Amino acid sequence: MALDPNTWTHKTQEAVNAALTSAREHSNPEATPDHLLAALLRQDDGVVLPVVRKLGIEPLTLRNAADEAVAALPTAYGTDTRPSRELVALFDAADSERRDLTDEYLSTEHLLLALFEADQKRPVADRRFGELSREQLLSALAEVRGSRR
């Protein structure tokens, strides 16, 4: 199951915890893919930042867009924060990426691939990853990731 923390890498666990914390701090009843994207882009020692840079995207610009989307989300007080349907679907997509790449654990790379695929469903003018192709993302991941598993 994609939402089983026992199948996540430490960096994935850190990103999810940071996303949930961000949602709570913003009084959002749900943690969304935007919370997760912002959290991934705050991991200075992770894989996501070098991949994003390799793609020619300024990480701060991407993070600011995610932060702006979070700021526009509804707020609710006195409720527990839970993953949104979109975030659960994103984890399912990331788990599919994990299987396709024959990896044992769900990593931040799989989350980035799933975020990219979700972004591709937006109108071109609204895409955060621009007009990049999946092949370009996979190539950047391969360069940064190397042979690590």
pLDDT in tens, 35-91: 999 999 999 999 999 999 999 999 999 999 999 999 999 999 888 899 999 999 999
Report pLDDT digits (tens) over 113-143.
Answer: 999 999 999 888 888 998 899 999 999 999 9
pTM score, two decimals? Answer: 0.93
Three-state secondary structure of 45-67? CCCHHHHHHHCCCCHHHHHHHHH
Which residue, 113, 105, 101, is CA-closest to 36?
113
- Domains and their CATH numbers in the chain: 20-145 (1.10.1780.10)
Sorting pLDDT into bands at 50, 70 and 90, what band is 148?
Answer: low
